């Protein structure tokens, strides 16, 4: 059974953290097709968070087609997630380094680069969900 953790200062919306943790578990095979996700009651009973947060996360996962909620029974995994192919990682790394160098050349310092990346990343993640 998967257990969740909430990082209150991470700046990432709580429900997104849950979505991410489920996806992470799917990718690594800790959750497989047919497994039942913990009930809302179980989740909030172990980490004291707002039940709506859990509901929102499960709804989002259902919207993405990863899980299915069966009324009166629970929420079950529909399909797994494959990680990206290994070559993708290397290519992404290279293009990221290039971007960082471009930003430094433009005059930003490392802290500004990080802040820019952070805020853009967050915007993008939330936009995708919206």
Partner 1 sequence: MNALEASGLSKRYGKHWALENCAFELPSGSIAGLVGPNGAGKTTLLHIAVGLLEPTRGSLRILGERPGAAQVLPRVGFVAQDTPLYKGFKVSEMISFGAHMNVGFDMEFARSRIARLEIPPDQKAGSLSGGQRAQVGLALALAKRPEILLLDEPLASLDPLARREFLQTLMEGVADTGVTVVLSSHLLTDLERVCDHMMVLARGRFRLIGDTADIIKTHKVLIGPKERVGSISGVSNVLHQSTTDRQATLLVRTDGPIIDPSWMVNQVSLEDVVLAYLDSRSTSADAVPDLHAVEEVAR
Q: Among 20, 33, 46, 95, which residue sits at the site for partner 1 (rule: CB under 8 A)?
A: 46
Q: Among 78, 80, 122, 125, which residue sits at the site for partner 1 (rule: CB under 8 A)?
A: 122
Nearer of residues 48 and 73 to partner 1, judged by Cβ:
48
CB of 21 to partner 1, least distance (A): 15
Q: Could you tell me if 37 and 59 are in contact, meaning their C-beta atoms sit under 8 angstroms apart?
A: no
Alpha carbon distance 124, 130 (integer Å): 10
Q: Is 124 in the site for partner 1 (CB under 8 A)?
A: no
Q: Is 51 in the site for partner 1 (CB under 8 A)?
A: yes
Task: Report helix, strand and coil shares of the chain as percent, to nearest 5.
Answer: 55, 10, 35
Q: Is 9 in the site for partner 1 (CB under 8 A)?
A: yes
């Amino acid at each position: 059974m998967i257990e969740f953790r909430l990082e209150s200062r991470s700046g990432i919306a709580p429900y997104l953290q849950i979505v991410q943790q489920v996806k992470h578990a799917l990718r690594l095979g800790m959750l497989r097709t047919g497994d039942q996700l913990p009930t809302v009651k179980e989740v909030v009973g172990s980490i004291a968070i707002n039940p709506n947060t859990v509901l929102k996360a499960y709804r989002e996962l259902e919207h993405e087609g990863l899980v299915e909620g069966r009324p009166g029974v629970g929420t079950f995994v529909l399909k797994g997630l494959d990680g990206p192919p290994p070559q993708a990682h290397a290519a992404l790394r290279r293009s990221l380094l290039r971007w960082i160098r471009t930003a430094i050349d433009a005059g930003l310092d490392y802290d500004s680069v990080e802040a820019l990346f952070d805020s853009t990343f967050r915007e993008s993640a939330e936009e995708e969900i919206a």
